[in-house]
Amino acid sequence: MRHIHFIVNPIAGSGKHLITQKFLHNFFDQDNYVVKIKKSDYKKHAKTLTKDSIKEGADIIVACGGDGTINEVASCLVNTNIALGIIPLGSGNGLASNLKIPKRIDQALNLIKTNTIKKIDVGRINDHYFFSNTGIGIDAQVIMHYENSNERRILSYIKSSLKALRDLNYRNKISIDINGEQIETYPFLVFISNTNEMGYNISLTPMASLQDGLLDVLIVSKMSRLKSIYFGLLILLKKHHLIKEAKHYQTKSITIRQANQTAYDSQIDGEFFNIVSETIDISLLEKSLHVIA
């Protein structure tokens, strides 16, 4: 008997989904599978539900949602033999796209049935794991406005990006240690990625791989508002590497420090976090998550 637990975020993406016990029994026969569905009721609830499922002996735990839900579920599965399944119900679905998990629910469920395991790298930023990407700078500000908007559509990302640009300031100088180099900069963006897609087919780190034992880092230094808009257009055209303020690195670890500040606005897998610390340490745990993909 294989025990599969589905953790469903009811507000992810459009908020519409077909995942019911009856629907799942079309895919997982009751002679071979024990299927359980749990619904998250609030932010971080998926973590508690996943921890309970681990205690209940689940063999596979399926995150049904976007990158935020995957982060909550997968954070509990790092360095275990329990496999993560993914049903991409989110708006962006960056990690699922990178893993080529089908967007159609029936196809994604059939994939889970195959139980084909891939071991993938996991990123860590201080006490948090990330599976897709993390960043400080304009991305964190965009996510902050997006979360405050209480809308979950691409248009809300566009509006949030415009607000973040309007409020752009370069008050904090940071120092970055990477590959033996020390970089001092007023950052527009420091983006650290494990995957080659952020969702919506947009990528800042097209060379990134989930299995190469490396993090891809994009450091973009201070630039004018006008140039930031140009940078945004270049991202859409996949040509953002062309501006001189953008530098790309591959690394296993990176440390960020800032003078006179003890907190960082950041985003972790598309969720806003205020990290209270003088230093940010980012590292990679090689192939430490089992994913069905």
Ligand X SMILES: Nc1ncnc2c1ncn2[C@@H]1O[C@H](COP(=O)(O)OP(=O)(O)OP(=O)(O)O)[C@@H](O)[C@H]1O
Least gap, CB of 199 to ligand X (angstroms): 5
Q: Which residue's Cβ lies closest to ligand X?
A: 66
Can you say whether the dihedral through the CA atoms of 268, 274, 276, 279 is positive or negative?
positive
- Residue 145 CB, shortest distance to ligand X, in Å, is 14
- Stated as kind and residue range, the H or E segment containing 143 is helix 138-149
**CA-to-CA separations, 157 to 93, 108, 213, in angstroms, rounded:** 14, 26, 31
**Which residues contribute to the site for ligand X (CB under 6 A)?**
9-13, 40-45, 65-69, 72, 90-93, 152, 199, 270-271
Looking at beta carbons only, is 4 or 64 nearer to ligand X? 64
The answer to whether 217 and 249 are in contact (CB under 8 A) is: yes
Nearer to ligand X by Cβ, of 123 and 187: the residue is 123
CB-based burial label for 101 (10 Å; 0-12, 13-18, 19+): buried
* Cβ at position 140, least distance to ligand X in Å: 14
- Least Å from the CB of residue 200 to ligand X: 8
194/258 with CB nearer ligand X: 194
Question: Residue 143: which of 275, 273, 272, 274 has the closest Cα?
Answer: 272
3-state secondary structure of 13: coil
70 versus 219: smaller Cβ distance to ligand X: 70
List the beta bridge partners of residue 279. Answer: 257
Q: How far is the CB of 154 from ligand X (least distance, A)?
A: 10
